């Protein structure tokens, strides 16, 4: 009885240096190619197609896409800022719709704060309306959302999220009941001390 089939092996290819965002500096890498092989009696004999190619950092053992070879520190910082701007936008929209109503003052404040944090991103009122619709359909509170993602935020970013959520909630004047209730739950959801939370709120109007 002849036993044949296929298996996958990870082979080391070229080596070099790249900017590793985990190590925060230049690091050696190994290119890894995951290739399928034809096997006979479980022995890999004939190389077939490459299934996956990636970079492995020698320092942290992290895996990165091949385009990491062409990215530097500034590129990663820009990507990180863009990702934070999108996260912040979602948080502001969720606190804005918490009470079931949306007014122009809140929309204008969201646009202003998004522009201040997005740097190279802009958002139209049409896109903003679309984002509000998606946020409403998600049936997710800002507390639930931030509880899930706050572990990926720096202390400075957490402060900015709280500041912006508070400003959006209060821009129309009176702080509504449901918005207040959710704001009060943010310290626990984000792992921030109550006294720090109060400091952020008290200085919220200072950029």
Extents of the domains making up the chain: 4-71, 74-202
pLDDT at 198: 93
Q: Can you give the pLDDT at residue 159?
A: 95
Nearest to 30 by CA among 60, 71, 9, 73: 60
Q: Is 80 exposed, middle or buried (0-12, 13-18, 19+ CB in 10 A)?
A: middle
3-state DSSP of 20-38: ECCCCEEEEEEEEEEEEEE
pLDDT level of residue 203 (50, 70, 90 thresholds): confident
What sign for the dihedral angle of Cα 161, 164, 167, 172? negative
What would be the CATH architecture of the domain defined by 74-202?
Answer: Orthogonal Bundle (1.10)
DSSP 3-state of 107: helix
Q: Is the pTM of this model over 0.95?
A: no
Q: Please say if the pLDDT value at position 28 is more than 90.
A: yes
Q: pLDDT, tens digit, for every residue of 39-72?
A: 998 889 899 999 999 999 999 999 999 999 999 9
> What number is the average pLDDT over the span 71-99?
92
At 206, the pLDDT band (50, 70, 90 cuts) reads low
Q: How far is it, in rounded angstroms, from Cα 23 to Cα 43? A: 38
Q: What is the mean pLDDT of the chain?
A: 91
How high is the pLDDT of residue 121? 74
pLDDT band at residue 207 under the 50/70/90 scheme: low
């Amino acid at each position: 009885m002849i036993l044949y089939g296929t298996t996958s092996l990870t082979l080391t290819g070229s080596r070099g240096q790249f900017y590793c965002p985990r190590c925060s500096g230049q690091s050696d890498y190994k290119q890894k190619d995951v290739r399928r092989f034809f096997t006979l009696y479980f022995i890999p004999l004939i190389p077939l197609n490459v299934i996956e190619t990636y970079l492995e950092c020698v320092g942290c053992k992290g895996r990165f896409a091949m385009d990491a070879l062409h990215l530097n520190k500034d590129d990663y910082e820009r990507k990180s800022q863009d990702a934070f701007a999108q996260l912040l936008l979602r948080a502001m929209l969720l606190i804005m719709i918490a009470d079931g109503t949306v007014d122009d003052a809140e929309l204008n404040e969201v646009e202003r704060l998004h522009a201040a944090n997005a740097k190279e991103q802009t958002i139209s009122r049409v896109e903003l309306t679309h984002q509000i619709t998606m946020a409403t359909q998600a049936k997710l509170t800002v507390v639930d959302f931030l509880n899930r993602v706050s572990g990926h935020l720096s202390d400075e970013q957490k402060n900015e999220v709280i500041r912006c959520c508070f400003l959006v909630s209060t821009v129309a004047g009176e702080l509504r009941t449901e918005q207040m209730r959710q704001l009060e739950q943010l310290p626990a959801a984000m792992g921030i001390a109550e006294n720090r939370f109060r400091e952020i709120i008290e200085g919220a109007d200072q950029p």
